[in-house]
Chains A and B, each alone.
Chain A
Amino acid sequence: MIEARGLTKNYGATTAVDGLTFDVRPGMVTGFLGPNGSGKSTTMRMIMGLDHPSAGAVTVNGRRYGELPRPLCEVGGLLEAKAIHPGRSAFNHLWCLAQTNGIPRSRVNEVIELVGLRDVARRRAGTFSLGMGQRLGMAAALLGDPSVLLFDEPVNGLDPEGIRWVRNLLKGLAAEGRTVFVSSHLMSEMALTADHLIVIGRGRLIADLPVAEFIAQSSRQFVRVRSPEADRLAAALRNAGASVLSEPDGSLAVTGLPISSIGVEAGRSGVVLHELSPQAASLEEAFMELTHDSVEYRGDLLGDPALGDPAGSIPNGAR
């Protein structure tokens, strides 16, 4: 269980994390989602006692990190893939961490086995590939068999097999009743692994809800209509009470009218239809829509007024 209360971090005049309050509960994977630079890593570092909050507090299992008697046995963290001295072997890296918390040597060998690094355990970590480095980081996180696990962008740079391995590991850990908190800037990744979501943007909490609810709530449903006489059809649909948006590709995005009624209106007007299909915004679009006001750096495309007005816009290219 992780509990953040009014967690705030200022760097000079800029506020990286702004009054975050949330709980991360055991027995499920909680995704920590936000665009790059939204304060995810800073929040995770504060949870692990590496950075000091400017205000507020965060506790793990009811205590601040620094007050945990043997931190590795309660919290496992993979904050950066390479929090490892490249000149030290995988075994010695894990062993020097284990010694501090009174974890026996046999457990070091156990986690090396678990992450599949047995053959390279005596090799210098600097020679490891990104994926092997990530596995070593996972091994360090699991060393003390902790009940709370934090992973910061764990699949970054991994190949598909590595990504699948991480996903299964996260789900497995949650199924064992552990608290699993994993950050990502990819909604699609979280949709596959997370049960619950905490979404932040510019350091502020945007959403704290189950994944399913997030998807239902933020993805906009609409109907795509293609017709050679789009303008006439649009007028007819508006008369019937629908709101209609012309997409750049010539199709119409229609909301406010059930799909059957759209067909009826088309028939009544004698307009030929080439397409009549229900659409839902993809998760990635839903996420972008949710956070687009709080993205720190954004390209011109996202500054497009059609997207800048959440009330009237329908995401382009929805599938």
Chain B
Amino acid sequence: MSATSPVTTAPTSQAAGTGASPGDLSVRGVLASEWTKLRSVRSTVWSLAALAVVTIGLGALVSAVTNNRWRTFSFADRLTFDPTSRSLRGVFLAQLAIGVLGILVITSEYGTGMIRSTLSAVPNRPLVLAAKAIVFGLVALVVSEAVTFVAFLVGQSLFTSPVPHATLGQPGVLRAVVGSGLYLAVLGLLALGIGSLIRHTAGAISTFVGLLLILPLLLQAFPTSVQTALGKYLPLTIIQAMIRVQPTPKAFAPWAGLALLGGYTLVVLLAAGVLFVKRDA
């Protein structure tokens, strides 16, 4: 364990060739770092596996049960039957998986003290938060899209004649599948913003679940007029409209709803960025 001349031959002039422009940290390096962080912890794998299992599994379950009970459906039920939304039911549970992962991306750094290592390496805090959001957002998007497509295809394959099934070419179907994946990715970013604001895993998850699931329950205590006026602003209403091919009453149009969610996310991330810069780490 002799360490009298430990670090004499270390490279200090490797700026050239690594993408690090002299005089600044490289954005590419910070993005690469966040990708390393995300892929090197188990919580990422588990959250994404849970996302796939609940989305595909629940969609398949709902589709299979629907297929078996078709004979008991009334004429009206058969007329409004939406095979696409049945196969995408798992998205409701997937919200929790993607939310928890989005939160952990930032709160796990505070919980472990890693944030101080991170900020020592990159004192540019907006860059850190942006890199986290970009890397996590892209991973969430790719995985969510893949999962919603598989859930749709598996679900449709379980509908047997005379039960109608949907194809991606039918109007509104592709929008429902692509939009659901997009919704999950944006919701994950919203969760990341909440995590950055609150900085504690348990507190952030509670807040996220409260906004997502408890707020709709509270709203039910109000008169119908209030419910109609406010209900459409809830993320849950937005995703309900998104997975359906047909228009949903008392809700924004699917893309308008997604844009609204995007707006929430942007506001929360900006607030998180401002506080991230202001607060002590």
Docked pose: A70 CA to B16 CA in angstroms: 13
Docked pose: A110 CA to B19 CA in angstroms: 21
**Chain B contacts with A in 170-226, Cβ cutoff 8 A:** none
**Interface pair B120/A92, CB less than 8 Å apart:** no
- Smallest CB-CB separation from A51: which chain B residue? B280
**How far is the CB of A135 from the nearest CB of chain B, in Å?**
10
Instruction: Say yes or no for A99: interface residue by CB 8 A criterion.
Output: yes
**Interface pair B113/A82, CB less than 8 Å apart:** yes
Q: A84-B113, A85-B112, A173-B6 are in contact. Are A102 and B119 (CB under 8 A)?
A: no
Docked pose: A73 CA to B19 CA in angstroms: 15
Docked pose: A176 CA to B119 CA in angstroms: 27
**Chain B contacts with A in 1-46, Cβ cutoff 8 A:** 1-8, 10-12, 14-15, 18-20, 22-26, 29-30, 32-34, 36-37, 40-43
**Interface pair A68/B123, CB less than 8 Å apart:** yes
Instruction: Say yes or no for A86: interface residue by CB 8 A criterion.
Output: yes
List of B residues within 8 angstroms of A70 by Cβ: 15, 20, 25
**Interface pair A168/B2, CB less than 8 Å apart:** yes
List of A residues within 8 angstroms of B116 by Cβ: 45, 48, 50, 79-80, 83
Docked pose: A132 CA to B19 CA in angstroms: 32
**Interface pair B121/A172, CB less than 8 Å apart:** no
* Total inter-chain residue pairs, C-beta < 8 Å: 152
List of B residues within 8 angstroms of A97 by Cβ: 33, 117-118, 121
**Interface pair B4/A107, CB less than 8 Å apart:** no
- Please tell me the size bucket of the interface on B: 35 or more
List of B residues within 8 angstroms of A73 by Cβ: 12
Q: A84-B117, A85-B109 are in contact. Are A101 and B25 (CB under 8 A)?
A: yes
**How far is the CB of A250 from the nearest CB of chain B, in Å?**
47
**Chain A contacts with B in 42-71, Cβ cutoff 8 A:** 45, 48-52, 65-66, 68-71
Q: A140-B117, A169-B3 are in contact. Are A89 and B40 (CB under 8 A)?
A: yes
**Residue in B14, B34, B43, B119 whose beta carbon sits within 8 Å of that of A87 in the complex:** B43
**Residue in A50, A110, A145 whose beta carbon sits within 8 Å of that of B120 in the complex:** A50
- Please tell me the size bucket of the interface on A: 35 or more
**How far is the CB of B160 from the nearest CB of chain A, in Å?**
44
List of B residues within 8 angstroms of A80 by Cβ: 113, 116
List of A residues within 8 angstroms of B30 by Cβ: 99-100
- Smallest CB-CB separation from B113: which chain A residue? A83
**Interface pair B3/A102, CB less than 8 Å apart:** no
Instruction: Say yes or no for A77: interface residue by CB 8 A criterion.
Output: yes
Q: A66-B124, A176-B5 are in contact. Are A96 and B15 (CB under 8 A)?
A: no
A70, A87, A116, A176: most-surrounded residue (chain B CB, <10 A): A70
List of B residues within 8 angstroms of A107 by Cβ: 10-11, 14
Instruction: Say yes or no for B66: interface residue by CB 8 A criterion.
Output: no
Docked pose: A104 CA to B17 CA in angstroms: 10
- Smallest CB-CB separation from B10: which chain A residue? A145
List of A residues within 8 angstroms of B118 by Cβ: 97
List of B residues within 8 angstroms of A110 by Cβ: 10
- Smallest CB-CB separation from A49: which chain B residue? B123
**Interface pair A173/B20, CB less than 8 Å apart:** no
Instruction: Say yes or no for A191: interface residue by CB 8 A criterion.
Output: no
**Interface pair B113/A45, CB less than 8 Å apart:** no
Instruction: Say yes or no for B122: interface residue by CB 8 A criterion.
Output: yes
**Interface pair B6/A172, CB less than 8 Å apart:** yes
Q: A50-B120, A99-B29 are in contact. Are A173 and B7 (CB under 8 A)?
A: yes
Docked pose: A93 CA to B114 CA in angstroms: 9
Docked pose: A102 CA to B148 CA in angstroms: 37
**Interface pair A85/B108, CB less than 8 Å apart:** yes
**Interface pair B11/A99, CB less than 8 Å apart:** no
21 pairs across A/B with beta carbons < 8 Å? Answer: A48-B120, A49-B120, A50-B120, A50-B281, A51-B280, A52-B278, A69-B23, A69-B24, A69-B25, A82-B113, A83-B113, A83-B114, A88-B41, A100-B29, A100-B121, A102-B18, A107-B14, A140-B117, A142-B6, A145-B11, A168-B4
Interface residues of B (CB under 8 A from A): 1-8, 10-12, 14-15, 18-20, 22-26, 29-30, 32-34, 36-37, 40-43, 108-109, 112-124, 278, 280-281
Interface residues of A (CB under 8 A from B): 45, 48-52, 65-66, 68-73, 75, 77, 79-80, 82-89, 92-93, 95-97, 99-104, 107, 110-111, 114, 116, 140, 142, 144-145, 161, 164-165, 168-169, 171-173, 175-176
